[in-house]
């Protein structure tokens, strides 16, 4: 125990103690029916699972880096996935990884020669923490439930292929087509032929190229669509 609070390990022991305290506090909040993590995210304006300009899962978060500069604080927060995981979870992970990295660095250094000076050990441990934090938060982000929407707008269906279910489609009264959106949902839409397009009988595969109010404009679809 005396070694843990010695000068060589004290920063890493302190990080581990703070991490343990945050875990205990979060557990107490959960027993009371609240979440300290949720309260912090609300106060900081973060919504877990996505952040402005960032994909909700898997991809590299580069928008903030492009806007603020590759080495800006915003780019660093984006790189370690702040916004895709709760802030408190990210902080607990950072403290745990920093403490673990420090113990390993000082243990290896002590086994080889002698423990590193704190002013050198802390940056080395921090440098090892960042990539490990990025990897761990990306893994956690995939496990966090997210709000999903299957809503599409009327304009989203322009460019979709459809089958004529009530035809023919010509320049007269609108007919009906069956289209599928990007989520696989079925939509029955009113449609008519584009100017100059041939009449399209029931069962014809068509391409929706425009929309005029509630009526879509269709042309015959190419065979490879």
Sequence spans of domains, the chain: 10-141, 154-220
Residue 148: cis peptide before it, omega within 30 degrees of 0? no
Per-residue pLDDT, 147 = 55
Give 183: exposed, middle or buried? Use CB within 10 Å, 0-12, 13-18, 19+.
exposed
Higher-confidence position of 148 and 36 = 36
**What confidence tens digit (pLDDT) does each residue in 82-94 have?**
777 788 888 899 9
CA–CA dist 67, 54 (Å, integer) = 12
Asked if 67 and 100 touch (Cβ cutoff 8 Å), the reply is no
Q: Name the band, by pLDDT with cuts 50, 70 and 90, for residue 70.
A: low
Q: Name the band, by pLDDT with cuts 50, 70 and 90, for residue 193.
A: very high
Pairing of strands 205-212, 175-180: unpaired
Asked if 184 and 176 touch (Cβ cutoff 8 Å), the reply is no
Per-residue pLDDT, 81 = 75
Cβ–Cβ contacts within 10 Å for residue 55, how many? 13
CA–CA dist 52, 24 (Å, integer) = 31
**What confidence tens digit (pLDDT) does each residue in 139-183 have?**
887 776 665 566 788 888 999 999 999 989 998 889 999 999 888
DSSP symbol at 200: B
The model's pTM: 0.51
Burial 71-104 (b: 16+ CB within 10 A, else e): eeeebebbbbbbbbbbbbbbbbbbbbbbbbbbbe
Asked if 43 and 89 touch (Cβ cutoff 8 Å), the reply is no
CA–CA dist 180, 159 (Å, integer) = 11
**What confidence tens digit (pLDDT) does each residue in 3-24 have?**
677 778 889 999 999 999 988 8
User: What superfamily would CATH give domain 154-220?
Assistant: Nucleic acid-binding proteins (2.40.50.140)
């Amino acid at each position: 125990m005396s070694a843990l609070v010695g000068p060589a390990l004290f920063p890493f022991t302190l990080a581990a103690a703070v991490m343990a305290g945050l875990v205990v506090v979060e557990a107490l909040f959960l027993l009371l029916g609240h979440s300290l993590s949720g309260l912090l995210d609300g106060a900081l304006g973060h919504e877990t699972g996505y952040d402005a300009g960032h994909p909700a899962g898997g991809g590299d978060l580069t928008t903030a880096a492009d806007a603020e500069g590759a080495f800006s604080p915003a780019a660093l927060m984006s790189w370690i996935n702040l916004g895709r995981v709760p802030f408190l979870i990210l902080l607990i992970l950072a403290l745990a990884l920093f403490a673990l990295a420090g113990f390993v660095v000082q243990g290896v250094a002590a086994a080889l020669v002698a423990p590193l000076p704190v002013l050198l050990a802390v940056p080395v441990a921090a440098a090892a923490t960042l990539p490990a934090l990025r990897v761990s938060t990306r893994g956690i982000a995939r496990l966090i439930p997210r709000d999903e929407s299957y809503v599409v707008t009327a304009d989203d269906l322009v460019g979709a292929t459809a089958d004529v279910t009530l035809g023919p489609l010509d320049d007269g009264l609108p007919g009906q087509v069956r289209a599928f959106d990007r989520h696989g949902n079925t939509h029955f839409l009113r449609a008519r032929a584009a100017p100059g397009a041939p009449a399209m009988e029931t069962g014809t595969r068509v391409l929706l190229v425009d929309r005029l109010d509630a009526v879509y404009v269709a042309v015959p679809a190419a065979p490879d669509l």
